[in-house]
Amino acid sequence: MPASPVVEFDGVTKDYRSGLLGRRRLRAVAGVSFRVEPGEVFGLLGPNRAGKTTLVKVLLSLCRPTRGQARRFGRPVRDRRTLARLGYLHENHAFPRYLTALGLLEYYGALSLLPEPDVRRRAAQLLELVGLADRAREPIARFSEGMVQRLGMAQALINDPDLLVLDEPSEGLDLAGRRLVREVIAGQRRRGRSVLLVSHVLPEVEQVCDRVAVLVGGLLAYLGPLAGLTRSPGRPLELALQELYEKPVQ
């Protein structure tokens, strides 16, 4: 039997209520369908307010679709047990600043219901991976933006996830940090794990993604490999995306 998609959106529409007494509806995404397969690095692209964050929230069970179905590992997203197989790097961290780097990883490891010896082992390995082993016992309040981003990557990996969701993972990172992000993604792929990457860093997308979905105004404007988006060798991805953003979606 073929493996189930790691992520599946099937005609997902999400409306938010706004205005006096919530009588007005704001449609964030409309009829979006795509899959992320096992071992695939999948990019989610689009301009601001395109609906990317809404889809991620649906995937993480932070909101429910108004219509359509969303699944993780073949199960409806309302089945929260599958969340244990997912790691998430948020675009804007809200880590307690008084915690140390090691303390933060131990905290998230406990939330993931991992055995304490496993948490300690993985925390040490991940701090070494992200270059923070020598700062493990320092409070996060002393960390630079780039160091907090590196710690966020370690936090997203603490439960050894089958699906890694990265929301702007290169934000605030220097060249070495961005190389680390690419290495982590490549490592997930080698192990047959999946990655959903939300990013505005187009060179990063070009280097790591197998396929992409492009959202424009809440609608799916493109789904497929990057080669199909640029249409010809050497055509800049930035130009192809700009044209897609400006073109009305049918």
Q: Read out DSSP for 101-117?
A: HHHHHHHHHHHTT--HH
Question: Looking at the domain assignment, is residue 210 inside a domain?
Answer: yes
Domain enclosing residue 37, as ranges: 7-246
Question: Looking at the domain assignment, is residue 2 inside a domain?
Answer: no
Q: Please tell me the total count of domains within the chain.
A: 1
The per-residue b/e assignment along 87-103, b for 16 or more CB within 10 angstroms, e otherwise, is bbbbeebebeeebbbbb
Across 8-27, average pLDDT: 87
Mean pLDDT for the chain?
92
Where would I find the H helices in the chain? 52-59, 101-111, 116-129, 145-157, 175-190, 202-208, 226-230, 237-246
On the question of pLDDT at 235 being above 90, the answer is no
Using CA atoms, how far apart are residues 142 and 150, in angstroms rounded to an integer?
14
Own/partner pairs for 228-237, CB < 8 Å, 24+ apart? Answer: 237/202, 237/205, 237/206
Across 86-113, average pLDDT: 93
Q: Which pLDDT value is given to residue 37?
A: 96
Q: Which pLDDT value is given to residue 2?
A: 61
pTM above 0.85, yes or no: yes
% of the chain residues with pLDDT over 70? 97
The CATH number linked to 224 is 3.40.50.300
Question: Looking at the domain assignment, is residue 21 inside a domain?
Answer: yes
Question: Looking at the domain assignment, is residue 50 inside a domain?
Answer: yes
More confident position, 4 or 3: 4
Q: Which pLDDT value is given to residue 249?
A: 64
Across 218-239, average pLDDT: 87
Q: Which pLDDT band, with edges at 50, 70 and 90, does 102 fall under?
A: very high
Average the pLDDT over each of 31-45, 125-139, 148-162, 195-209 and give the range with the smallest value: 195-209
On the question of pLDDT at 17 being above 90, the answer is no
Question: Looking at the domain assignment, is residue 1 inside a domain?
Answer: no
Tens digits of residue pLDDT in 34-93: 999 999 999 999 999 899 999 999 999 999 999 999 999 999 999 989 999 999 999 888
Q: Which pLDDT band, with edges at 50, 70 and 90, does 14 fall under?
A: very high
On the question of pLDDT at 1 being above 60, the answer is no
On the question of pLDDT at 119 being above 80, the answer is yes
Where would I find the H helices in 14-74? 52-59
